[in-house]
A and B are shown apart, each in its own frame.
Chain A
Amino acid sequence: MKTFEEKWTAWLDGQLSGRELAKFEASLPDKAAAEVEKADARKLRQLLKQELGARTLTNQEFFSHQVHEKIAQEDAEASQSSGRRSATTSTWWTIPRLLWAGTLSLAVFLVCTLFVVHEKTPTEESSYLTQILNARVDPVVSPNATVSMFEVKQDRVTVLWTEGLQSLPADYAAK
């Protein structure tokens, strides 16, 4: 218990004992006034108990019957809706199946597209790339020359990596 309200409530309800009780009572500025208030709280409790007590529920059996009816109705509605759900799932074109069919079609389309792209001929590529591919390294001048090409199509970049080249071919001119 931390606050004064909590301690006061516990004191009124006789929940304090021992050192805690002594400490709390010592902290009260006016013990007599506190005792009066404690007596007031008791009177209030008595009044509430006496006047509010247990309220009679008239038609008790009807009350239970009505609860029973509502439960039965609720259960019937629940089973109806689950029945509707199962009826929906028995038809072939359910939403999950449609989704699966769509995904499968998309996957087939992508595979076909990749296949077609892979099969493209070099002549369909850019003129710049064609020019590079047509460039020849003279085997007499540079017998150990190797030419590698790296291409990043989406960035429109092609890197021609040459090694062991003594001189550039005379007819090569990148534009």
Chain B
Amino acid sequence: MQTEATPAQADVSELDLVRRCQAGDTEAFDELVTRYRTRVFSMIYNMVHSEQDAWDLAQDSFLKAWKSIKRFRGRSAFYTWIYRIVMNVTIDWLRKKQVKGAGAEFDDAIQLRQVDPASKTVPKTEALPYEMMERDEIRARIEQAITQLSPEQRAVILMKELEDMQYHEIAEALGCSIGTVMSRLFYARKKLQNLLRDVYENI
């Protein structure tokens, strides 16, 4: 897995940073946050599809990581360990949201409909407006398809397809067996293939 730091930096000092964090050094923890914040935020965002919630959950995850860093024994890679926290926090949040049955629409989806394509407030980018709209639509379709998956299936498919994590790493991050990971991956892929076939066939 890549981090924001250069590979050399990451190799030399990650364990050292963890040891310093365990001794109460918040500066060292800042460094770890800097390395993983984008990946963590991105992963959470792809699971919850809301920038604000992803921000809060990522904050929550790092805070939990700080509180429990003394328990990190270094038996697994640090990113697997932090992903475990991230997944626990996010899956827990998704489950609570499901129980509440809020049924709130994702803020980005609302945003999409609210933006007038001809509006002067649409940010300037290199892509043409219709291309942007098309892309937004595809992204909305994907996000909608992902919401059809259970929180665990979402976690598995995103870790495998976006993060290129190995089965055993995913299993470690989710606290389940490799067989369970493979099985969840099987059903998640089947479901997404059914829901998104027309999208990927036409690209």
Encode contact with A along B78-90: 1 for CB under 8 Å, 0 otherwise.
0000000000000
A9 and B182 in contact, given A57-B42, A64-B34, A66-B59 (Cβ under 8 angstroms)? yes
Decide if B142 touches A74 in the complex (CB within 8 Å): no
Q: Within 8 Å CB of B45, what residues of A?
A: 55
Question: Contacts A12-B189, A63-B59, A71-B29 hold; do A47 and B182 have CB atoms under 8 A apart?
Answer: no
Give the docked Cα–Cα distance between A101 and B55 (Å). 53
Question: Contact between A48 and B183 (Cβ–Cβ < 8 Å)?
Answer: no
Q: Most chain-A CB neighbours within 10 Å: which of B54, B161, B197, B203?
A: B161
Q: How far is the CB of B168 from chain A (nearest CB, A)?
A: 11
Does A76 sit at the interface, judged by CB under 8 A?
A: no
Segment touching A, from B7-15, B62-70, B114-122: B62-70
Chain B window 39-65, contacts with chain A (Cβ cutoff 8 Å), 1 for yes, 0 for no: 101100110000000110011001100
Residues from chain B with Cβ under 8 Å of A54 in the complex: 38-39, 42
Query: When A51-B139, A53-B162 are in contact, do A60 and B186 touch as well, CB less than 8 Å?
Result: no
Cβ of B187 under 8 Å from chain A = yes
B138 interfacial by beta-carbon distance below 8 Å: yes
Which candidate, A38-46, A135-143, A152-160, A166-174, is the interface stretch facing chain B?
A38-46
Q: Is there a chain B Cβ closer than 8 Å to A5's Cβ?
A: yes
Q: B162–A63 contact, CB under 8 A?
A: no
* B185 touches A (CB below 8 Å): yes
B109 at the interface (CB under 8 A from A): no
> A167–B70 Cα gap in the complex (Å)?
86
Residue of B nearest to A61 (CB): B34
The residues of B that contact A13 with a CB separation of less than 8 Å are: 160
Q: Is A34 an interface residue (CB 8 A)?
A: no
Cα(A60)–Cα(B34), bound, Å: 8
In chain A between 60 and 78, which residues have their CB closer than 8 angstroms to a CB of chain B?
A: 60, 63-64, 66-68, 70-72, 74
Is A28 part of the binding interface, using a Cβ–Cβ cutoff of 8 Å?
no
- Is B37 part of the contact surface with A, judged by Cβ < 8 Å? yes
Find chain B residues with CB under 8 A from A43 CB. Answer: 200-201, 203
Determine if A27 is an interface residue (Cβ-Cβ < 8 Å).
no
- Of A48, A53, A63, A70, which one neighbours B37 at CB under 8 angstroms? A63
How distant is the Cα of A155 from the Cα of B162 in the complex, in angstroms?
A: 80
Contact between B38 and A57, CB atoms less than 8 A apart: yes
Residue of A nearest to B143 (CB): A52
Contacts of A15 in B (CB 8 A): 167
The verdict on B199 contacting chain A, using a C-beta distance below 8 Å, is: yes
- Using Cβ atoms and an 8 Å threshold, which residues of chain A touch B201? 43
22 A-B pairs in the complex with CB atoms less than 8 angstroms apart: A3-B183, A5-B182, A5-B187, A6-B179, A6-B182, A9-B182, A10-B182, A44-B161, A44-B196, A48-B161, A48-B192, A49-B162, A51-B139, A52-B158, A54-B38, A55-B38, A55-B54, A60-B38, A63-B58, A68-B33, A72-B26, A74-B63
Q: Which residues of A contact B (CB under 8 A)?
A: 1-3, 5-6, 8-10, 12-13, 15, 37, 40-41, 43-49, 51-57, 60, 63-64, 66-68, 70-72, 74
The 9 closest A-B pairs by CB, nearest first: A5-B186, A55-B42, A9-B182, A43-B200, A6-B182, A57-B41, A47-B200, A55-B45, A5-B183
